[in-house]
């Protein structure tokens, strides 16, 4: 299949029509435009692409303004950045809506290792823009101008070969030091595309992970990539994250040999997918690493990661539940198990389950996850009120008492109501006795 055929196969009729609008305007303006990055890579390897990224070898904002004026019925500007000269636009073609990013070619500089890149110049020639990118396979551009439509521009000279040979190769020796989050991106692409690291890239990755020159400035980017990569829930990602020391981007020290294997962890998480928020899978994997790291390091490092409150709560819950393991081991009844586990976030429960070596303990986690956590009371505080009992701590005692009986004795709804009524009557008698 030639490249034009691949392009036709990868894009829908509507997407191709939208891009033909871009072609017309760019040709009229006499400027070069390209598809760039992931979309080109994915078209070439016959893989579904994520986003439409259009690179304008000039001013993308000016291009976008002219484009939206000419095709006002089909194109709308969603966002614009006048400093970076980028635009997000929405196409409406027939009944279909889809977005695209327009970016001006630009050059960037890193003031020091892992700093946020600073914009140097916009509207630069394609080759200069390509230099700031991460991997050769992400650095290909495909012309959208009519005179060389679909021609591939392989400015690094390795992109096409590396796609052919399945290799992830950085563009220059400082790439990982400039932006260590690229190490995690490399792992993500290896897993998603089934590619491997090119030899020199592998050595440079090792060197970067050994050095402590990078600062915390790129923790946001690292967090984003680690989340995306580990959330893929692939044993390969977690096993390599550990074996290649990529975890060092998050925590400098842990006892690697004790960390459970990715196959096991993925299997357990997969079995608990309905119980957890799948956006938080990466935090379960991080708990596996934090569990074998010096405790004082965990606090410092999660702080650097700037976790959201809910994310931080998962890590904290993981350690709190771990400190209650003996209690869980000794738990005899369903209610005892429920009372311990129900206090913690589901992801913290699953993380502890992943580390459990005892079958009896694992059974308790599964009993909670698969059954107990879904058992809910059919009565509430409002029903207690109907008995004329004054609101207070007694409400909690009645509801907990009913739940305890329900969990421990598998009560039917009628049985539950009867237990509840008895508890309410007892409580009412007690308060009346106190008054008299």
Binding site for ligand CTP (CB under 6 A): 37-38, 50-51, 53, 133-134, 138-139, 179, 181-182, 185, 221
Q: How far is the CB of 88 from ligand CTP (least distance, A)?
A: 12
Q: How far is the CB of 292 from ligand CTP (least distance, A)?
A: 28
Judged by beta carbon, residue 53 or residue 405, the one nearer ligand CTP is 53
Q: How far is the CB of 218 from ligand CTP (least distance, A)?
A: 8
Residue nearest to ligand CTP (CB): 38
- Can you tell me whether residue 120 is helix, strand or coil? strand
Judged by beta carbon, residue 34 or residue 71, the one nearer ligand CTP is 34
Q: How far is the CB of 200 from ligand CTP (least distance, A)?
A: 18
Other CB atoms within a 10 A radius of the CB of residue 139 amount to 25
Strand (E) or helix (H) holding 99: strand 96-104
What is the spatial distance between Cα 305 and Cα 224, in angstroms, rounded to a whole number? 10
What is the spatial distance between Cα 156 and Cα 358, in angstroms, rounded to a whole number? 53
Q: How many residues does the chain have?
A: 436
Judged by beta carbon, residue 32 or residue 185, the one nearer ligand CTP is 185
Strand (E) or helix (H) holding 15: helix 13-29
Q: How far is the CB of 39 from ligand CTP (least distance, A)?
A: 7
Q: Is the dihedral of CA 4, 169, 220, 316 positive or negative?
A: positive
Other CB atoms within a 10 A radius of the CB of residue 318 amount to 26
Judged by beta carbon, residue 37 or residue 64, the one nearer ligand CTP is 37
Judged by beta carbon, residue 91 or residue 420, the one nearer ligand CTP is 91
Of 125, 176, 126, 180, nearest to 154 (Cα)? 126
Judged by beta carbon, residue 39 or residue 403, the one nearer ligand CTP is 39
- Identify the residue whose tokens are 């040709």: 27
Of 346, 292, 299, nearest to 318 (Cα)? 346
Q: How far is the CB of 358 from ligand CTP (least distance, A)?
A: 41
């Amino acid at each position: 299949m030639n490249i034009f055929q691949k392009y036709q196969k990868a894009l829908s009729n509507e997407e191709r029509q939208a891009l033909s609008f871009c072609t017309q305007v760019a040709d009229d303006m006499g400027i070069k435009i390209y598809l760039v990055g992931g979309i080109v890579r994915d078209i070439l390897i016959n893989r579904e692409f994520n986003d439409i990224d259009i690179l304008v070898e000039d001013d993308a904002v000016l291009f976008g303004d002219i484009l939206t004026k000419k095709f006002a019925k089909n194109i709308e500007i969603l966002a614009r950045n006048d400093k970076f000269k980028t635009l997000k636009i929405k196409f409406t073609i027939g009944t279909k809506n889809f977005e695209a990013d327009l970016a001006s070619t630009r050059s960037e500089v890193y003031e020091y290792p892992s700093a946020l890149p600073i914009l140097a110049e916009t509207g630069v020639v394609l080759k200069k823009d390509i230099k700031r990118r991460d991997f050769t396979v992400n650095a290909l551009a495909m012309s959208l101008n009519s005179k060389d439509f679909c021609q591939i521009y392989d400015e690094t000279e390795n992109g096409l070969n590396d796609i052919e040979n399945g290799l992830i190769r950085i563009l220059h020796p400082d790439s990982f030091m400039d932006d260590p989050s690229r190490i995690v991106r490399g792992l993500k692409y290896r897993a998603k595309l089934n590619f491997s690291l090119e030899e020199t890239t592998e050595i440079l990755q090792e060197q970067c992970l050994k050095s402590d020159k990078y600062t915390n400035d790129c923790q946001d980017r690292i967090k984003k990539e680690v989340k995306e990569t580990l959330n893929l829930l692939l044993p390969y990602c977690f096993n390599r994250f550990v074996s290649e020391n990529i975890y060092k981007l998050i925590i400098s020290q842990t006892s690697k040999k004790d960390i459970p294997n990715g196959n096991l962890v993925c299997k357990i998480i997969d079995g608990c997918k309905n119980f957890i928020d799948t956006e938080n899978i990466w935090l379960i994997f991080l708990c596996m690493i934090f569990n074998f790291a010096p405790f004082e390091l965990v606090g410092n490092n999660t702080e650097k990661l700037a976790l959201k409150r809910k994310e931080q709560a998962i890590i904290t819950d993981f350690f709190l539940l771990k400190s209650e393991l003996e209690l869980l081991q000794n738990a005899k009844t369903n209610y005892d198990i429920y009372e311990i586990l129900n206090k913690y976030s589901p992801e913290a429960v699953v993380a502890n389950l992943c580390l459990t070596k005892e079958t009896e303990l694992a059974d308790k986690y599964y009993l909670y996850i698969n059954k107990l956590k879904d058992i809910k009371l059919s009565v509430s505080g409002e029903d207690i009120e109907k008995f004329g009992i004054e609101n207070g701590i007694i409400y909690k005692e009645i509801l907990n008492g009913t739940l305890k009986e329900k969990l421990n004795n598998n009560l039917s709804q009628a049985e539950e109501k009867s237990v509840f009524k008895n508890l309410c009557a007892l409580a009412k008698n007690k308060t009346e006795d106190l008054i008299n």
